[in-house]
Amino acid sequence: MARTGKEWHEKPKFPETHFVDTRIYTDDVLFREEQEKIFNKVWIIACHESEIPNAFDYRTFHHPGGAELIVVRSEDLKVRSFYNICPHRGNTLLYDPVGNAKRITCIFHAWTFDTKGACTDITRGKQGYQDRFCPADASLREVRADTGYGGFVWVNIDDSAPSLAEYIGPAMELLDESLGLELEVFHYHKAVVHTNYKLWHDTNSEFYHDYIHYFNRATGMIQPGYFDRKYTGYQNGHASVGSMSIKYDAYDGGAERKVGWPGLGPGGWILIDIFPGMTFNLRTSVLRMDTAIPAGPNKLLIEFRGLGLKSDTPAQRAERVRDHNTIWGPFGRNLHEDLLGVHGQGMAMRERTDSKWVIHGREENMTIHDEGGMRHFYAEWGRRMGRKPFDPYDDNNIEAA
Amino acid sequence: MEPVEKMNTANVRAMVAELVYRSCMMLDAMDFNAFLAVCDEKFHYLITAFSPEIRKEMTWLEHDKMGMTLLFKTLPKHNSDQSILSRHATVYTISFSDDSKHADVVTVIQIYRTTLDGGATELFAVGKMHDKVVLSADGPLLLARQIKLDTRMLGIGFHIPF
């Protein structure tokens, strides 16, 4: 029997850890708070080192906390990051997403900076500022940057945050043997979806949604080992899912994969979710990296990268590209289904749609259709936000268990 | 039909251009069998885009004729955006090989998307279509198609080839 309005709003018959109030996906105040308490406190992937291989190469990056950043490889080959803001009149310093700049010169009044963030010239400085202000007073704002875990460039807005290694902890151990060689990005695209970033990370944190994928429900779920895969939760909200062996020849039109990946068995698959919105997805011959960059509670930009080994021969690279695009490219068979799923959640959970709860109630001994990966995420979300995911404004009249 | 090498060049050009336009109409109508029927057995399909961010040419979809056939066959089984795609094509250039057995066609293409709910239309993607056409006594057939996309943000993406 269908439910009445009153019944629709009643607390789900689960422990409070097993459901959330949908306002955490739609509320603008909560989103601004997430930017401050989460995104501006944690390490975020800005790009991959292969995108800036040479001295003075740079990438620009829109940080999910709001800041516009420059990521640049300095003359000493160290990767550094700065606000992409001229300290003079607040103009954007670098306009293009990528380039090479021995000197960073603001187009507005030609103030110039080096790739270590020092101001090297203020045009007609003496005439205008006399001895009151000089280049030493006009350095760029540096943001902490570190490189690791497959050569990704991570940034952290918080000057006093723990190190990247402390933040990641043991969460990446499943990929220790697989990320030792130099990697290279061969695929990059962005997608804007009107949904909440957590819903995308949820999709990367649960495999119960394999039912949305024709190929997965037709073949993946009936493969031996599928239901044996287990979630492991780590400190700081990270989680992993262990490997299974995918029988690609079971897919219609599939073929035996020859290239493989170091440290990964034939047909292997390892997925690691890094809080709050990054996913390492290593499948057979390709590493996919998703970075969620929310622009609002119901607007999400996702950066998708596909990586191979820098040492690939053209034939090996071609096979990785094929493997990637067949499943995960913008025209692939799975990605558009995943994105359609979270797009639909975004439509259904907009403010005033009277959505109320999202349930994370499945318990299957933390195996592949258990929803423990999401529960682990929301426990960390609640800790950092100082709010209860199931009752973010303490107005649901739920007694804490 | 008259052998191609004996046909008036203008007539061959018209046939080649019409093949390109008809192929777009077939895909718009999702008449995939008709589309495959105008593809040579050695047909090769490619969607590419250049990423300034990583400074690389990317391949986003690549299939031979069998791969295209399988893709079309499984389309109804997927959960996909059901918006209607309209391909607006303008043939820019047609050039012929020295032996008159092939034609290379460059076509500019815009793909519009029309929603099912309300019928709002938006420009979805722009790019160029590079076709290689085999000319035979039975008429022209598509031997290869490469869609070079300028547009790289495609929202949730699409499983239907352009």
A191 in Cβ contact with A117 (< 8 Å): no
Three-state DSSP state, B65:
helix
Res. A268 pLDDT band, cuts 50 70 90: confident
Which of A190, A218, A333 is closest, CB to CB, to B153? A190
Convert the pLDDT of each residue in B53-95 to its tens digit: 999 999 999 999 999 999 999 999 999 999 999 999 999 999 9
Residues of A within 8 A of B58 (CB-CB) are 186-189, 321
**What percentage of chain A carries pLDDT values higher than 90?**
88
CA closest to A98 among chain B residues: B53
Mean pLDDT of A387-394: 98
Residue A265 pLDDT: 83
- Measured between CB atoms, which of A97, A322, A331 is closest to B52? A97
Best B44, B53, B85, B160 member to test A by mutation, with max A CBs in 10 Å, is: B53
The pair phi, psi for residue B145, each rounded to 5°, is -135, 125
Give ranges for CATH 2.102.10.10 in chain A: 44-148
- pLDDT greater than 80 at residue A400: no
B47 to chain A, any CB pair closer than 8 A? The answer is yes
Q: Is the predicted pLDDT of residue B153 greater than 60, yes or no? A: yes
Does the beta-carbon distance from A191 to B54 stay under 8 Å? Answer: no
Give pLDDT, residue A247.
Answer: 54
Find residue A188's DSSP bridge partners.
A305
b/e code B52-76 from CB counts within 10 Å (16+ = b): ebbebebbbbbbebebbbebbebbe
- At A76, is the pLDDT very low, low, confident or very high (cuts 50, 70, 90)? very high
Tens of pLDDT along A291-313?
Answer: 999 999 999 999 999 999 999 99
Structure token digits, residue A17: 């850890």
Pairing of strands B139-149, B39-51: parallel
pLDDT of residue B4: 66
User: Would you call A191 and B74 a contact, using CB atoms and an 8 Å cutoff?
Assistant: no
% of chain B exceeding 70 in pLDDT? 96
Residue B1 has pLDDT above 70, yes or no: no
Nearest CB partner across the interface for A191, out of B52, B153, B161: B153
pLDDT band at A225 (very low <50, low <70, confident <90, very high): confident
> CA-CA distance, B106 to A5, in Å (whole number)?
59
Contact A336 B156 (CB under 8 A): yes
Nearest chain A Cα distance for residue B36, angstroms: 17
For CATH 3.90.380.10, list the domain ranges present in chain A.
173-385
Sign of the alpha-carbon torsion through A40, A43, A48, A51: positive
The pLDDT confidence band at residue B40, using thresholds 50, 70 and 90, is very high
Whether the complex's predicted ipTM surpasses the cut of 0.85: yes
- According to CATH, the topology of domain A173-385 is Naphthalene 1,2-dioxygenase Alpha Subunit; Chain A, domain 1 (3.90.380)
Tens-digit pLDDT profile for residues A11-50: 999 999 999 999 999 999 999 999 999 999 999 999 999 9
Say yes or no to pLDDT of A248 above 80.
no
Assign a CATH topology to domain A44-148. Rieske Iron-sulfur Protein (2.102.10)
- Can you give the pLDDT at residue A218? 77
**Strands in chain B per DSSP E:** 39-51, 56-64, 84-96, 102-114, 121-136, 139-149
Measure B150 CA to nearest chain A CA, in Å.
Answer: 12
The domains of chain B are located at 4-149
Is residue B146 very low, low, confident or very high in pLDDT (cuts 50, 70, 90)?
Answer: very high
> Domain B4-149, what architecture?
Roll (3.10)
The set of long-range contacts for A294-297, using a CB threshold of 8 Å and a minimum separation of 24, is A294/A31, A294/A34, A294/A39, A294/A64, A294/A196, A294/A197, A296/A28, A296/A31, A297/A25, A297/A26, A297/A27, A297/A28, A297/A30, A297/A31, A297/A196
Average confidence score pLDDT of chain B: 95
Residues of A in contact with B59 (CB under 8 A): 321, 325
- The larger pLDDT score, comparing residue A277 to residue B1, is at A277
Q: How high is the pLDDT of residue A351?
A: 84
User: What is the model's pLDDT at position A244?
Assistant: 63
Spatial distance between the Cα atoms of A71 and A84, rounded to a whole number of angstroms: 9
Picking from A50, A192, A253, the nearest residue to B67 by CB comes out as A253
The per-residue pLDDT for range A128-151, each reduced to its tens digit, is: 999 999 999 999 999 999 999 999
